[in-house]
Amino acid sequence: MRSRVIAALWIVFVLLANPMAVAATAYSNLRWVGSWIPPGYAASDLCDQSGIVDTARNYNQAVSLHHLTNNYICNQSNITLPSGYLGTQVAGYRDGTLCGFSQVYYSTVATSAWQLWITLCSNPSGLQTFYSAGWPYGWNGTGYTSGGSTISPSQNY
């Protein structure tokens, strides 16, 4: 009996010392969505990044950068814009099926990058494949400009 108790305690100790929870992250590259002109600012580039983080948490980021002629990549310096000029929205997918869609969240502070982290899909036991699709929004004075979705790499949990 004593050896069984010791063996059970040893197993509990090993499990506590080495938790089995899996947490991983997968992000898309920062993707150029389009050029736009925020009121009171020079031409800007609107860029976007999507991800799936931790255990099936959806992520999207809208970024405003200085525009460079014929430079359709997101490697220039950021432009800090007033509150409300940037927005982001994300959809969550599990095993290729849409399982959640956020509203558009607009920046509430002056920023050059606005991020959204939200869990849209349940994560039942067993291994599933998750990914996010996200959209950036930039205020142009009369409405919001956006572009096609940015898809994150898939992640299994």
* Domains within the chain, CATH numbers bracketed: 22-156 (2.60.40)
Residue type, 54: D
Judge whether 23 and 123 are in contact, CB under 8 Å: no
Q: What is the mean pLDDT of residues 92-114?
A: 97
Q: CA angle, corner 77, sides to 72 and 82, nearest 5?
A: 105
**Is residue 7 predicted with pLDDT exceeding 60?**
no
Per-residue confidence at 5, pLDDT binned at 50, 70, 90?
very low
Residue 16 pLDDT exceeds 50: no
Does 12 have pLDDT greater than 60?
Answer: no
Measured at the CA of 86, the angle between CA 136 and CA 132, to 5 degrees, comes to 30
Q: Which residue is it, tokens 């929205």?
A: 89
